[in-house]
Amino acid sequence: MSFFARFRRQRLGLLGGLVLLMLALVVAFAGFFSPYDPQTQHRQFPYVPPMLGRLHFRDEEGFHLRPFVYGLERVRDPFALDWVYVEDKSEKYPVYLFVRGEEYRLLGLFKTDIHLFGTGTEGDSPGQLFLLGTDKLGRDLLARVLAGGQISLGLGLLVVLVCLVVGVLIGGFSGYYGGAVDTLLQRSVEVVMSIPRLALLLALSAALPPELPATTRFWGIAVVLALVGWAPLARVIRGQFLRYREEEFILAARANGSGSGRIIFRHILPNTFSYLIVAATLTAPALIILESILSFFNFGIQEPLISWGMLLQEAQSVFQLQFHPWLLLPAGCIVLVVLAFNFLGDALRDAVDPHLTLIER
Amino acid sequence: MWGYVLRRVLYMVPALFFISVVAFGVIKLNPGDFLTKYELSYPREVLQEMRERYGLDAPLHVQYWRWITGILTRLDFGYSFATRQPALQALFSSGRLLWTFVVTGVTMLCTWLLALPLGIYSATHRNSLGDRLANLLGFIGLSIPSFVLALVLLWALVVIFQVGPRYGLGVGGLFDPAQAEAAWSWAKVKDLLWHLWPAVLVIGAGNIASLSRYMRGQLLDVLDEPYIQAARAKGLRERLVVYKHAVRNALTPLVSMLGFWLPQMFEGTLVAAVVLQLPIVEGAYWQALAQEDQYVAMSGLLFFSAVLMVGSLLADLLLLWVDPRIRLEK
């Protein structure tokens, strides 16, 4: 049975892949799928609970196909003395598809102001539509979760690619040439891997000066993650190279007069592709988790950039969990992504080689 | 056997030396030091004098040399600027070291006690509803990051079980404020257990999942062996077959997983220490990083690496002891 035939039999793996694909699409077009800009502060509306339940189809006139929301009014709850939001039934705002709203850049390239849904621009329709609620400054959580996904997913994939390249170079040469270089490299990899990953990661990102601009910091975090992440991949790749370098087709290639560079990149590397893909799929969720832990601990991504871990910082105190539990939503996104990656990775691994243990958990 | 142990221990010496260089370098990568944030509030001369007194103005290799010779000759790991005591005390004092071992030990124990029966059940009831459920839970347990689990647990405790500051019950730390100073009593033990279980779950969830899945796989392999068939054929009761013949033999390879456990447990412990505010060494390390308390952070990195190394050595020795098939000679 071919690799693809075996992979297709893994339903959960397919499902994981599908979920990831859809998430990637939605996140890439974050501006289009969210009615507001993630940075816009609706100062009159802090901590609005999710409004999914406040989408109405029915009013006193009967049923409408087009859903609408009532105006929001902030009042003091006379018993708990907290602010609560009630619906102001005198105002009604229908929800339109492909509505014009705040300007944004689609994929960072094209300027446009068309959003998938919304109640129209703030100017001509003050209706508020916070499907997933707002944070302390009244910023739309849906927009922030989608924007956070751009960095959480993007950074994870970027770092995996860097780790793969570094891993192939170092692991490949180490496995192909063997000898003293190999021993030295393997010993250093072992020593670095015996330092606990998270402790090293925290220490490295603590070394990034706090006054760095957010984008520079983003690249710094990427470098730090890559520094910690390449070693296990290099080991896997080295093992593969060790296995293939004694094979007869390599001997044949050498007899043909191929140089070592050609043998490494043209003859051995393509044979290890399936393993590389599996290793990458299983490394990506680990990196996404590490990034979110860093950002959650305030050592990682910082405002004005958004990542899921950073969003969860706000949910850290018991008080917030008690009164504004919707701030936990980014946690659900992290779990979903990691779960999908793990399903996909497991299915790929089973399709490549069921007895493979690639990444030590 | 002893030669092997000696070789492993000797190997640890250069490794730890290398790690000490890495730890020092990583922490010193930070261009500032503890005094940087006081630059606005104190005159330059005072700070310069302080830097001279603590040797912070010396070139890096001199600073490293002072640090490492201090450790080797006087067991002096440097000075904690933030807490004004020796770095080692800042890491270990007020019972932190003890509680670290208590929390880790209890977590390990609970992991085995939960994961093994789960794995045995899954293997003996293969493809049943319970097995599928355990499999699904296992996958979720492996996929849920520890800090998310900590947040969700906190949320469940506060919102669903209605404990929390508002109701006069703490959820962070290891004791309620009222019990922390009290002498040991049943009430205090109960209080400790109540605070311990979320930590155990946060630290252990991933391991419980992977261990039970691994146990299931091992047991299924063993149950296919001919000697199990023989045991059944001679009319042994199924319970005896499973527990006396199969489980025993399936357990041995599990010990080899101990080596992978320790690093993973460490990550969970660090996260639990911060989110649940446990008074353990990992929490002190995190604080030292946040406060740029350099020597405490370096010593922490060194300490954790040493513990992991010793842990993996012990795990290997344990494997050697339980599995006589393993030979050391090449």
> Contact A195/B304, CB-based, under 8 Å?
yes
Residue A46 falls inside a structural domain? no
Domain end residue (candidates: A103, A129, A155): A129
> Contact A199/B158, CB-based, under 8 Å?
no
Instruction: Please report residues of A whose CB lies closer than 8 A to that of B12.
Output: none
Do both A16 and A66 map to the same domain?
Answer: no
**Displacement of CA B155 from its chain's centroid (Å):** 23
Mean pLDDT calculated for residue range B208-232: 89
Complex ipTM tops 0.90 = no
Q: Are B107 and B282 in contact (CB under 8 A)?
A: no
Shortest alpha-carbon distance between residue B94 and chain A (Å): 22
Query: What pLDDT sits at residue A359?
Result: 46
Mean pLDDT calculated for residue range B264-286: 87
Query: What pLDDT sits at residue B167?
Result: 42
Element (H, E) at A226: helix A214-245
Domain end residue (candidates: A95, A129, A163): A129
Shortest alpha-carbon distance between residue B235 and chain A (Å): 34
pLDDT for A290-323, tens place per residue? 999 999 988 888 888 899 999 998 887 777 777 8
Mean pLDDT calculated for residue range A272-276: 84
Indicate whether A351 pLDDT > 50. yes
| B166 closest CB neighbour out of A195, A322, A325 | A322
> Contact B270/A325, CB-based, under 8 Å?
no
Do both A105 and A180 map to the same domain?
Answer: no
| B143 closest CB neighbour out of A194, A342, A360 | A342
Query: What pLDDT sits at residue A264?
Result: 85
Do both A180 and A208 map to the same domain?
Answer: yes
Mean pLDDT calculated for residue range B146-150: 89
Residues 6+ apart with CB under 8 A from B271: A198, A293, B146, B147, B150, B202
pLDDT for B241-262, tens place per residue? 888 888 888 888 787 777 777 7
Residue A111 falls inside a structural domain? yes
Mean pLDDT calculated for residue range A1-20: 78
Structure tokens at B238: 């199924």
- Dump strand ranges (E) for A119-223: none
Shortest alpha-carbon distance between residue A329 and chain B (Å): 10
Mean pLDDT calculated for residue range B268-295: 87
Domains and CATH numbers, chain B: 1-94+284-330 (no CATH), 96-278 (1.10.3720)
Q: Are B173 and B273 in contact (CB under 8 A)?
A: no
The percentage of chain A sitting over the pLDDT mark of 70, rounded to a whole number, equals: 92
pLDDT for A72-97, tens place per residue? 778 887 776 677 888 777 777 778 78
CATH no. for residue A299? 1.10.3720.10
Residue A38 falls inside a structural domain? no
Residue A137 falls inside a structural domain? no
Query: What pLDDT sits at residue B249?
Result: 83
Q: Return d(Cα A294, Cα A21) in angstroms, integer.
A: 25
Instruction: Please report residues of B whose CB lies closer than 8 A to that of A296.
Output: 147
Residue B175's SS3 state is coil
Instruction: Please report residues of A whose CB lies closer than 8 A to that of B161.
Output: none
Do both A211 and A296 map to the same domain?
Answer: yes
Residue A33 falls inside a structural domain? no
Q: Are A125 and A119 in contact (CB under 8 A)?
A: yes
Do both A59 and A21 map to the same domain?
Answer: no
DSSP class per residue in B44-67: HHHHHHHHHHTTTTS-HHHHHHHH
pLDDT for A219-243, tens place per residue? 999 999 998 888 888 888 888 888 8
pLDDT for B288-326, tens place per residue? 888 888 889 999 999 999 988 888 888 888 888 877 777
Shortest alpha-carbon distance between residue A316 and chain B (Å): 7
For chain A, which residues lie within 8 Å of any Cβ of chain B, measuring from their own Cβ?
188, 190-192, 194-200, 202-204, 206-207, 209, 285, 289, 292-293, 296-299, 312, 315-316, 318-319, 321-322, 325, 328, 331, 334-335, 338-339, 342-343, 360-361
Write down the residue that tokens 């063993």 correspond to. B222
Domain end residue (candidates: A98, A129, A160): A129
Structure tokens at B109: 């124990």
> Contact B22/A192, CB-based, under 8 Å?
yes
Query: What pLDDT sits at residue B168?
Result: 38
Shortest alpha-carbon distance between residue A124 and chain B (Å): 39
Do both A99 and A242 map to the same domain?
Answer: no
Q: What does pLDDT average to over chain A? A: 83
Mean pLDDT calculated for residue range B95-102: 87
Q: Return d(Cα A4, Cα A277) in angstroms, integer.
A: 13
Indicate whether A361 pLDDT > 60. no
Q: How many domains does chain A have?
A: 2
Mean pLDDT calculated for residue range A345-349: 84
Domain that holds residue A123: 52-129
Query: What pLDDT sits at residue A81?
Result: 67
Do both A167 and A102 map to the same domain?
Answer: no
> Contact A196/B158, CB-based, under 8 Å?
no
Query: B interface mutation test: which of A184, A228, A321 has the most B CBs within 10 A?
Result: A321
Instruction: Please report residues of A whose CB lies closer than 8 A to that of B156.
Output: none
Do both A64 and A152 map to the same domain?
Answer: no
Indicate whether B232 pLDDT > 80. yes
